[in-house]
């Protein structure tokens, strides 16, 4: 059971990684001056759109959360989707706020900062929404100590922490006087977040595999 | 064996570190008086013209080229203010003269440190001042070295001076007439210049002077106030242009009376960075215009791009132009363009004089001068010069003479350049011996501190120092002998004038004994630790080795920051590091608070299931876990039994508090833009200080002072409450008196120095401090109880807050408010809910202290030191209080946090036993680790391009910070002592 689940997770994660690679490479076939650093805003849009699309499609195909697969009335489904959208938007705003608190300019590169917040939300909040539903209690449970109840929860922990940590690390080269194009706000941070997310997608199944014996999930 | 409390041990360690750093600094910064004495160049020592075999008739100094000379020095005149678009717009006359008049124009490069006094020194002595001169900038002692002004005066010429009184302090009794204006009231930029200009009409009419020096400060003040792009710059440049025109016209009209042509020099001492400050090495700070206007020069027909010269080149040029010997220590090369209208023979003669002076200097200061390329080339050039003279005397006018002439010229110019550059390298020569000795002491201290960390953070906060054992060991005497031998060998073998070889034997003996003793103590402590084996809590550590996010962040941040000191950009932008770390810290605190409140229900059941695990967790806090010791802070039961069901009001306030601090941090971050990369960005500080926003600034200051009162009065006795209120009102009056703020009823008061108001505040500060000391003494000797003790401590703290409020510029008062608010929030909410141990709290305090340091607008460049704080309440410069006040005002942030830590820890004694000792030890470690690592980094990077502009100022900042921390630690130790006395008496 566990191995099948793990294999499923691995393939899902590989698809996500491929989607990120595609979002970086494919647009340059259609657009002449597309590059990650040059047209950063566009790349951010494409990347977050692709990743979110792939995440939602994967979620619909896999139905990772068994509790949510009970029969739902259409009206409750609609409210759930609405709640999810609202939470996603709120998370974007919160991320934007935190970025500004970290010193991002308030007005100058507003769109870039906001798109960075959207990207971070795609990497973290959207996955939470897909796997746990718009249920904040469940989120708190997953992210508190020893709160993971399935390998999906563990992978969620790993990807979230890695994406945020990647973004955090990405801020470090900004003050250096190398004058490279990628040092401009927020490129190094977005790249860091993307890199962290990509790496965590690969690492998460492997980590779970290696720690199979230590991971014991209590059932509620 | 000697039992020491960890606070006392830490304090001694820090003092030892400070001593080591002092030795290191002496080696690192070439002392200005070391290599150059006060000997002066004499006319009798002037060499004759080299003439091969023949006796030249030209053995005397050449006669002067210029008659009257006017030096118009405009402080902080940037190169593009004259040669750039601003010059075209606002300095039409100067621009016209530069483009079409008989003028020469250059871009003179000022060496960093680009601060006024070293620059004046450089221009007058021709020597590049050592970095330590910047520190001396504060009290500008008399210039004893050979300099242009002395030469002019001793030649019997009359000098007049108007402007910055730095000159008058540097050259006392050199000017026949002078009027100084002080440069420390930066807010005034019209009066300082009027004070200079009002003498001009009178002086220009007279003819009883030979050299007139004008130093205009207004532009520099505008730069400091509003930056280079402010609307004030244009009119000021225009004013300067009119003065140039006036002087030039007057000089030209007098031209008929004298035979010699006059000379007007327009120059700047340094430039202005994009924020308007100076001190660094950015191109805008380094490049200054140098315009020479004289009828002796060829009339130009078109504007050519100015060539670069060194600022020191002016010295030799001016000395020769006035027919004087070149100052002995001059490193500058003659600007040949000045002589372009003269005959070749004269040009050679001047070049030879300059070269001769430089070669003399090379001989004196380079032990292996025979091998110096420039020196050798000069010898060759002298020979060729001789043969040229020979040909010239023979009346040869053929091609060979011209060709030889060209060759001589080229050889001379190259030789001058080479000798000058090898001499300027000498200035930056390090005294490796002292540096190594200092580094050894520092390293031994830090290793000892690290090795004894487990003991020092143990439950008793006491441990044994094997001091007596060290003194009886053979190793100690062997080390002493060996070091003495090394000292003798080093000092006798080389001719280099090591600082360390020139100090008294007593100091050398102290250093040697200190090093050997530390080495022995270190070895025996290490031995003891190794033989004692691992502590028994290892199983516990293994069982619960996971660190909390906070511990991880604190360790990562501390070591990350220390490593970042190896990069010049991270030093320049260090504030970013601290803002980043404190921000993350606050987010982690928020997460901890959240976990405490929301996940509490889950954890409670888990904890009750596994009491042993819980116990282990209590004992094994991560900082201690790092050194595998048992934790000792027995937390009070009340904190553990904190009821989560309590008022939801307080819960939400606690949850909100990290966000409040975060928003406050974000606002303060845009209060002062510091560093290099983003320093030009607009900030609130500049907006507030610009003269059009005085009302807003006044309101802000009044509100801040009021809030400071509200926050501080909680811990005050009634009497000091009144004193505090009066003191804060006095601060507002002081700022209004010196023109920073306004009273709503009296908006246009005339500006004074505010001496009375400031002294009024000082009285209250001293009063409050005195009450505090009285309480402390009372608690120590008469009535040993903790309440009096902590009351006394808080009084002291409040006194320091009042002093800080007085010294901080009004727009920085929110920083003080921030410090107080955050301290209140942390003590009232966060510490109560989260059981952090003393080490964690100390690190958090240190981080906030660092962030506050940069919020205040400080940076790692000398330019941001607010010297005006040293003059608050003083008529003129008094060394001791000025240094103390400047140091205090610079380190308000770290100091207030450290003192608050002392107060908090000693008032919460029943909660954290032995916490005073622990936090003191941690504070010392936190300071010692970056300081010692930085010393090693700076030694390895001493030939880095940015060593003078970035690494050296940072070294000074690090040592000053260590000094300040040492002061705080002495207070800490005293508090710890009190505790012992109290316990003994009981
Ligand atoms: Zn200046
Ligand atoms: Zn200045």
Q: What is the pLDDT of residues B66-93, one digit of tens each?
A: 888 999 999 999 998 998 888 889 999 9
C-alpha count within 13 angstroms, C-beta hemisphere, residue A39: 15
B681 secondary structure, DSSP code: S
Same domain, residue pair B337 and B364: no
pTM value is 0.77
User: Does residue B543 sit within a domain?
Assistant: no
Same domain, residue pair B318 and B362: no
Domain's final residue, options B380, B410, B428: B428
Q: Is pLDDT of B535 > 60?
A: no
Are B95 and B289 spatial neighbours (Cβ–Cβ below 8 Å)? no
Q: How large is the average pLDDT for residues B105-125? A: 86
Same domain, residue pair B448 and B411: no
Q: Which of B559, B585, B587, B664 to mutate to test the interface with A (most CBs of A within 10 A)?
A: B587
Size of interface A-B (CB pairs under 8 A): 49
Quote the percentage of chain B above a pLDDT of 70: 85
Q: How large is the average pLDDT for residues A25-39? A: 83
Q: Ligand 2: distance of its center to the CA of B161 in Å?
A: 19
pLDDT the model gives residue A216? 65
Q: Chain A within 8 Å of B584 (Cβ-Cβ)?
A: yes
Distance CA B22, CA B16 (A): 10
Same domain, residue pair B424 and B472: no
Name the band, by pLDDT with cuts 50, 70 and 90, for residue A177.
confident
Q: Is pLDDT of A1 > 80?
A: no
User: Does residue B349 sit within a domain?
Assistant: yes
Q: Is pLDDT of B389 > 70?
A: yes
Name the band, by pLDDT with cuts 50, 70 and 90, for residue B963.
very high
Smallest Cβ–Cβ distance between A101 and the set B577, B595, B666 belongs to: B666
Q: A68 vs chain B: nearest CA distance in angstroms?
A: 23
Q: How large is the average pLDDT for residues B932-950? A: 84
Same domain, residue pair B354 and B399: yes
Q: How large is the average pLDDT for residues B465-479? A: 77
Query: Which stretches of chain A sit within 8 Å of chain B by CB?
Result: 98, 100-103, 140-141, 144-147, 168, 171, 174-177
Q: How many residues does chain B have?
A: 986
User: Does residue B875 sit within a domain?
Assistant: no
Q: How large is the average pLDDT for residues A68-88? A: 79
Q: Is pLDDT of B553 > 70?
A: yes
pLDDT the model gives residue B626? 41
User: Does residue B825 sit within a domain?
Assistant: no
Smallest Cβ–Cβ distance between B662 and the set A101, A146, A175 belongs to: A101
B570·A146 Cβ contact <8 A? no
Q: What is the pLDDT of residues A189-218, one digit of tens each?
A: 999 999 999 999 999 988 888 887 776 665
Q: How large is the average pLDDT for residues A115-142? A: 87
Q: How large is the average pLDDT for residues B458-467? A: 71
A103·B580 Cβ contact <8 A? yes
Same domain, residue pair B350 and B315: no
User: Does residue B602 sit within a domain?
Assistant: no
Q: Which of B549, B599, B659, B680 to mutate to test the interface with A (most CBs of A within 10 A)?
A: B599
pLDDT the model gives residue B398? 76
Q: How large is the average pLDDT for residues B9-37? A: 78
Q: Ligand 1: distance of its center to the CA of B25 in Å?
A: 26
**Residues of chain A positioned with their CB less than 8 A from the CB of B677:** 175, 177
Distance CA A44, CA A27 (A): 12
Helix then strand count (H, E) for chain A reads 9, 0
Q: Is pLDDT of A54 > 80?
A: yes
Name the band, by pLDDT with cuts 50, 70 and 90, for residue A88.
very high
Q: Which range marks the domain in which residue B413 is found? A: 343-428
Q: Is B185 left (phi over 0), alpha (psi -120 to 50) or beta?
A: beta
User: Does residue B736 sit within a domain?
Assistant: no
pLDDT the model gives residue B464? 73
Same domain, residue pair B442 and B313: no
- The domain spanning residue B161 has which CATH number? 3.40.720.10
B576·A103 Cβ contact <8 A? yes
Q: Chain A within 8 Å of B258 (Cβ-Cβ)?
A: no
Name the band, by pLDDT with cuts 50, 70 and 90, for residue B978.
low
Distance CA B911, CA B44 (A): 80
* Highest-pLDDT range among B502-506, B886-890, B967-971: B886-890
Q: Provide the token pair at B174.
A: 């050199």
Contacts by B533-537, CB closer than 8 A, 24 or more apart: B534/B628, B535/B454, B535/B628, B535/B629, B535/B630, B537/B619, B537/B620, B537/B628, B537/B629, B537/B630
Q: Is pLDDT of B558 > 90?
A: yes
User: Does residue B596 sit within a domain?
Assistant: no
**Residues of chain A positioned with their CB less than 8 A from the CB of B599:** 140, 144-145, 147
Same domain, residue pair B210 and B246: yes
Same domain, residue pair B277 and B368: no
Q: What is the pLDDT of residues B701-750, one digit of tens each?
A: 999 999 999 999 888 888 889 999 999 999 999 988 887 888 888 766 67
Are A12 and A42 spatial neighbours (Cβ–Cβ below 8 Å)? no
pLDDT the model gives residue B52? 63
Name the band, by pLDDT with cuts 50, 70 and 90, for residue B635.
very low
Q: What dihedral angle (degrees, nearest 10) is formed by the CA atoms of A141, A147, A149, A152?
A: 80
pLDDT the model gives residue B608? 39
pLDDT the model gives residue B640? 39
pLDDT the model gives residue B439? 94
pLDDT the model gives residue B546? 64
* Residues B125, B129, B133: CA angle, nearest 5 degrees: 120
Domain's final residue, options B341, B357, B385: B341
Q: Chain A within 8 Å of B944 (Cβ-Cβ)?
A: no
Q: How large is the average pLDDT for residues B302-318? A: 86
Q: Is pLDDT of B962 > 80?
A: yes
- Choice between B578 and B906, residue whose per-residue pLDDT is larger: B578
Domain's final residue, options B528, B553, B584: B528
Q: Which of B666, B667, B949, B950 to mutate to test the interface with A (most CBs of A within 10 A)?
A: B666
Q: What is the pLDDT of residues B221-261, one digit of tens each?
A: 888 777 888 888 999 999 999 999 999 998 888 877 677 88
Smallest Cβ–Cβ distance between A101 and the set B568, B573, B583 belongs to: B583
**Residues of chain A positioned with their CB less than 8 A from the CB of B667:** none
ipTM score of the complex? 0.93
The beta-strand segments (E) located in A14-172 are none
Q: Is pLDDT of B662 > 90?
A: yes
Q: How many residues does chain A have?
A: 220
Q: Ligand 1: distance of its center to the CA of B269 in Å?
A: 6
User: Does residue B885 sit within a domain?
Assistant: no
pLDDT the model gives residue B623? 39
pLDDT the model gives residue B789? 77
Q: Map A158-182 to HEC letters.
A: HHHHHHHHHHHHHCCCCCCCCCCHH
Same domain, residue pair B117 and B216: yes
Q: How large is the average pLDDT for residues B196-212? A: 89
Q: Is pLDDT of B774 > 80?
A: yes
pLDDT the model gives residue B562? 94
Q: Provide the token pair at B851.
A: 């962030």
pLDDT the model gives residue B92? 92
Same domain, residue pair B356 and B502: no
Name the band, by pLDDT with cuts 50, 70 and 90, for residue B55.
low
Chain position carrying tokens 């300099």 = B147
Are B45 and B451 spatial neighbours (Cβ–Cβ below 8 Å)? no
With CA atoms as reference, report the closest residue to B95 among B241, B276, B220.
B241
Q: Is pLDDT of B980 > 70?
A: no
Which of B126-130, B613-617, B972-976 shows the lowest mean pLDDT across its residues? Answer: B613-617
Q: How large is the average pLDDT for residues B436-453? A: 91
Q: What is the pLDDT of residues A90-116, one digit of tens each?
A: 999 999 999 999 988 888 889 999 999
Number of domains in chain B: 3
Q: Is pLDDT of B372 > 90?
A: no
Q: Is pLDDT of B621 > 90?
A: no
Q: How large is the average pLDDT for residues B756-780? A: 89
**Residues of chain A positioned with their CB less than 8 A from the CB of B573:** 175
Same domain, residue pair B124 and B141: yes
**Residues of chain B positioned with their CB less than 8 A from the CB of A177:** 568-569, 572, 676-677
Backbone torsions φ then ψ of B594, nearest 5 degrees: -60, -45
pLDDT the model gives residue A24? 87
Which of A180-194, B343-357, B460-474, B536-550 shows the lowest mean pLDDT across its residues? Answer: B536-550
Q: What is the arrangement of strands in the sheet containing B177-181, beginning at the earlier edge strand?
A: B177-181, B159-164, B211-216, B69-74, B263-267, B287-293, B103-109, B307-310
Mean pLDDT of chain B: 82
Q: Is pLDDT of A32 > 70?
A: yes
């Amino acid at each position: 059971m566990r191995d099948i689940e793990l294999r499923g997770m691995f393939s899902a994660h590989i698809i996500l990684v491929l989607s990120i690679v595609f979002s970086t490479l494919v647009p340059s076939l259609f657009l002449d001056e597309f590059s990650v650093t040059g047209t950063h805003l566009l790349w951010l849009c494409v990347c977050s759109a692709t990743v979110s699309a792939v995440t939602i499609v994967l979620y619909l195909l896999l139905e990772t959360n068994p509790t949510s697969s009970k029969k739902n009335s259409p009206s409750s489904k609609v409210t759930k989707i609405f709640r999810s959208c609202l939470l996603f938007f709120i998370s974007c705003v919160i991320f934007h706020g935190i970025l500004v608190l970290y010193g991002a300019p308030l007005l100058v590169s507003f769109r870039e900062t906001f798109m960075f917040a959207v990207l971070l939300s795609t990497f973290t909040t959207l996955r939470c929404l897909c796997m746990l539903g718009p249920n904040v209690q469940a989120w708190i449970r997953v992210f508190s100590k020893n709160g993971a109840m399935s390998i999906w929860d563990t992978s969620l922990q790993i990807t979230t922490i890695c994406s945020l940590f990647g973004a955090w690390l990405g801020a470090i080269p900004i003050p250096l006087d190398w004058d490279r194009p990628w040092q401009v706000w927020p490129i190094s941070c977005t790249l860091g977040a993307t890199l962290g997310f990509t790496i965590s997608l690969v690492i998460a199944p492997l980590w779970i595999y290696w720690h199979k014996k230590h991971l014991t999930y209590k059932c509620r | 064996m000697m039992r020491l409390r960890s606070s006392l041990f830490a304090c001694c360690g820090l003092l030892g570190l400070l001593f080591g750093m002092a030795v290191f600094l002496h080696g690192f910064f070439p002392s200005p008086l070391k290599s150059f004495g006060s000997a002066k160049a004499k006319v009798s020592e002037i060499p004759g013209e080299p003439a091969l075999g023949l006796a030249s008739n030209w053995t005397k100094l050449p006669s002067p080229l210029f008659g009257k000379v006017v030096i118009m020095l405009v402080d902080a005149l940037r190169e593009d203010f004259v040669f750039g678009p601003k010059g075209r717009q606002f300095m039409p006359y100067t621009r016209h003269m530069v483009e079409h008049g008989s003028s020469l124009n250059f871009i003179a490069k000022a060496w960093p440190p680009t601060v006024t006094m070293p620059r004046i020194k450089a221009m007058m002595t021709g020597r590049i001042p050592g970095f330590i001169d910047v520190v001396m900038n504060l009290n500008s002692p008399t210039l004893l070295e050979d300099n242009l002004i002395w030469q002019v005066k001793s030649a019997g010429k009359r000098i007049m001076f108007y402007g910055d009184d730095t000159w008058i302090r540097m050259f006392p009794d050199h000017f026949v007439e002078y009027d100084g204006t002080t440069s420390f009231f930066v807010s005034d930029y019209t009066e300082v210049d009027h004070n200079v200009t009002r003498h001009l009409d009178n002086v220009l009419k007279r003819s009883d002077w030979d050299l007139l020096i004008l130093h205009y400060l207004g532009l520099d003040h505008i730069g400091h106030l509003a930056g280079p792009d402010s609307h004030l710059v244009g009119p000021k440049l225009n004013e300067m242009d009119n003065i140039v025109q006036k002087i030039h016209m007057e000089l030209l009209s007098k031209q008929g009376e004298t035979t010699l042509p006059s000379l007007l020099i327009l120059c700047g001492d340094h430039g202005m960075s994009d924020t308007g400050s100076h001190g660094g090495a950015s191109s805008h700070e380094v490049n200054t215009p140098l315009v020479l206007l004289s009828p002796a020069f060829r009339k130009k027909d078109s504007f050519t791009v100015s060539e670069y010269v060194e600022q020191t080149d002016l010295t030799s040029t001016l000395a020769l132009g006035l027919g004087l010997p070149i100052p002995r220590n001059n490193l500058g090369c003659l600007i040949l363009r000045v002589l372009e209208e003269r005959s070749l023979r004269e040009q050679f003669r001047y070049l030879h004089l300059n070269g001769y002076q430089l070669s003399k200097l090379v001989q004196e200061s380079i032990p292996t001068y025979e091998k110096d390329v420039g020196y050798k080339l000069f010898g060759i050039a002298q020979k060729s010069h001789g043969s040229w003279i020979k040909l010239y005397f023979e009346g040869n006018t053929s091609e060979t003479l011209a060709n030889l002439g060209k060759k001589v010229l080229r050889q001379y110019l190259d030789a001058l350049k080479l000798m000058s550059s090898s001499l300027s390298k000498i200035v930056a020569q390090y005294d490796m011996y002292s540096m190594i000795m200092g580094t050894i002491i520092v390293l031994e201290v830090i290793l000892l501190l690290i090795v004894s960390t487990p003991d020092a953070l143990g439950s008793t906060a006491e441990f044994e120092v094997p001091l007596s054992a060290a003194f009886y060991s053979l190793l100690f005497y062997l080390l002493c002998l060996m070091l003495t031998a090394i000292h003798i060998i080093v000092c006798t073998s080389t001719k280099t004038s090591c600082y360390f070889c020139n100090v008294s034997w007593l100091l050398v003996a102290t250093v040697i004994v200190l090093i050997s003793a530390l080495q022995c103590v270190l070895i025996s402590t290490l031995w003891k630790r190794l033989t004692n084996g691992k502590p028994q809590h290892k199983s516990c550590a293994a069982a619960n080795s996971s660190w909390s996010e906070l511990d991880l962040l604190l360790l990562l941040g501390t070591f990350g920051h220390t490593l970042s000191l190896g990069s010049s950009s991270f030093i320049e932008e260090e504030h970013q590091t601290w803002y980043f770390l404190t921000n993350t810290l606050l987010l982690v605190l928020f997460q901890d608070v959240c976990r405490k409140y929301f996940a509490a229900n889950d954890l409670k059941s888990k904890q009750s299931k596994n009491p042993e695990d819980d116990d282990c967790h209590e004992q094994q806090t991560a900082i201690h876990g790092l050194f595998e010791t048992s934790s000792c802070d027995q937390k009070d039961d009340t904190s553990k039994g904190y009821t989560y069901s309590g008022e939801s009001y307080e819960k939400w306030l606690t949850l909100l508090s990290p966000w409040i601090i975060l928003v406050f941090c974000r606002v303060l971050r845009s209060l002062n833009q510091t560093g290099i990369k983003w320093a030009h960005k607009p900030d609130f500080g500049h907006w507030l200080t610009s003269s059009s926003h005085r009302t807003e600034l006044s309101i802000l200051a009044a509100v801040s002072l009021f809030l400071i009162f509200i926050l501080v009065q909680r811990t005050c006795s009634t009497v000091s409450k009144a004193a505090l209120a009066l003191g804060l009102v006095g601060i507002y009056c002081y700022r209004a008196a010196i023109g920073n703020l306004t009273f709503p009823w009296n908006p246009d008061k005339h500006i004074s120095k505010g001496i009375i108001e400031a002294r009024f505040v000082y009285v209250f500060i001293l009063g409050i401090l005195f009450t505090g000391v009285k309480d402390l003494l009372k608690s120590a000797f008469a009535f040993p109880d903790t309440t009096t003790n902590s009351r006394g401590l808080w009084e002291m703290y409040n006194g320091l807050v009042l002093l800080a409020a007085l010294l901080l510029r009004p727009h920085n008062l929110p920083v003080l408010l921030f410090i107080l608010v955050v301290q209140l929030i942390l003590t009232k909410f966060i510490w109560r809910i989260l059981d952090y141990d003393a080490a964690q709290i100390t690190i958090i305090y240190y981080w906030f202290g660092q962030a506050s340091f940069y919020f205040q607008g400080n940076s790692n460049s000398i330019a941001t030191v607010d010297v005006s704080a040293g003059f608050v309440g003083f008529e003129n410069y008094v060394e001791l209080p000025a240094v103390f006040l400047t140091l205090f005002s610079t380190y308000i942030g770290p100091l207030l946090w450290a003192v608050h830590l002392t107060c908090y820890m000693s008032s919460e004694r029943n909660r954290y036993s032995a916490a005073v000792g622990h936090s003191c030890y941690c504070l010392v470690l936190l300071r010692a680790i970056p300081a010692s690592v930085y010393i090693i980094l700076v030694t390895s990077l001493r030939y880095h391009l940015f060593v003078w502009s970035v690494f050296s100022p940072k070294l000074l900042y690090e040592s000053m910070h260590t000094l300040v921390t040492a002061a705080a630690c002495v207070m800490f130790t005293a508090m710890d002592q009190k505790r012992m006395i109290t316990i003994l008496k009981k």
